[in-house]
Amino acid sequence: MKGAIIGDIIGSVYINKPVDSNNFQFIKPSSAYTDDTILTLSTADALLNKKSFAEALREWVKHYPMAGYREEFLNWVLSDDKHVYISKGNGAARRISPVGFAADTLQEAMDMAEETTKITHNIPLKIKASKAVSGAIFLAKNDGTKNEIKQFVEDIFGFGINDNTSGYTIASIEESPVPAAVSAFLQSDSFEDAIKKAILIGGPTNTLASITGGIAHAYYKHIPKSIIRKSLVRLTPEMKSLIVKFEETYFPQQKSPADFFLSIR
């Protein structure tokens, strides 16, 4: 999960802007979390504290209402409208990473992904995208190979994965960012390389880096401490505490002590 949040923070300053690969900076002074982070944390909170996904989503958005949500979505949350909100965006796939880490089986990862996605994106393509990302993270966490992950995303969900990220367009990413994000991960040799490759695609860089970051974190099981420190200092103590508890529960492979995050102010 932490990798998705770090991807969001790193990608936040490059959204729809040209990116110079020769002068790439992982963290800039204006790097910040976005709605992707808040919604990812809401998913983690639901899983960790046995809340409904809808309940946790509303709680976190109301607590952090200025994170850059779509106006229609924010109005829906703040109004306590009980009707299902149907978004054509890609927010569900961006917030899904905790499910892949918490699931006990691949089927459970896909089932929970569908459950939480239907709250806001009850559209077949969006459900398919969330299930693909959640399943990919589950496989990566459980030592699946890159080829197995690629076959899963392609064969089960029909997403074609290009061998080169330059083959993706803004239009194809807007339809679904999953193929481009998975492609960036597959071509990488480390967590930071995966994030950089995702951002160099361009367009909605925080979305791409968030999805890529979740998979890459599960697969490589290592994020450089300097990137962790410079990214997560931008979070509140409440956010960092939840990350620690979640990863102690669902991703105990992590070597960093819990107080590493809690000490960041």
Residue 177 is part of a domain; what is its CATH number? 1.10.4080.10
Report the distance separating Cα 64 and Cα 250, nearest Å: 25
114 is written with which tokens?
Answer: 């569908």
Q: What is the pLDDT of residue 255?
A: 43
Total domain count, the chain: 1
Task: Kindly state the tokens that stand for 51.
Answer: 């809340």
Question: What is the predicted pLDDT for the residue at 253?
Answer: 66
CB contact set of 35 (below 8 Å; sequence gap of 6+) = 67, 68, 69, 91
Domain encompassing residue 6: 2-262
Mean pLDDT per 10-residue section of the chain, whose length is 265 residues: 97 93 93 96 97 95 94 89 76 92 96 95 93 97 96 95 90 92 97 97 96 98 95 96 96 52 37
- Dihedral pair phi/psi, residue 168, rounded to 5°: -95, 145
Percent helix, strand, coil in the chain, to 5, is 65, 0, 35
Residue 89, phi-psi category: left (phi > 0), alpha (psi -120 to 50), beta (remainder): beta
Token digits of residue 92: 């569900």
- Could you tell me the pTM of the whole model? 0.93
- The pLDDT value recorded for residue 36 is 95
| pLDDT given at position 263 | 36
Neighbours of 160 (CB within 10 A): 10
Query: What's the pLDDT score for residue 252?
Result: 81
Q: Which residues contact 211 (CB under 8 A, 6 or more apart)?
A: 4, 7, 93, 94, 97, 133, 177, 178, 181, 182, 198
Amino acid 41: pLDDT: 98
Residues 6 or more apart from 103 whose CB is under 8 A from it?
A: 109, 112, 134, 138
DSSP-H helix ranges across the chain: 2-11, 35-49, 53-63, 71-79, 91-95, 97-102, 106-117, 124-141, 146-151, 157, 170-175, 178-186, 191-200, 205-220, 225-232, 237-250, 258-262
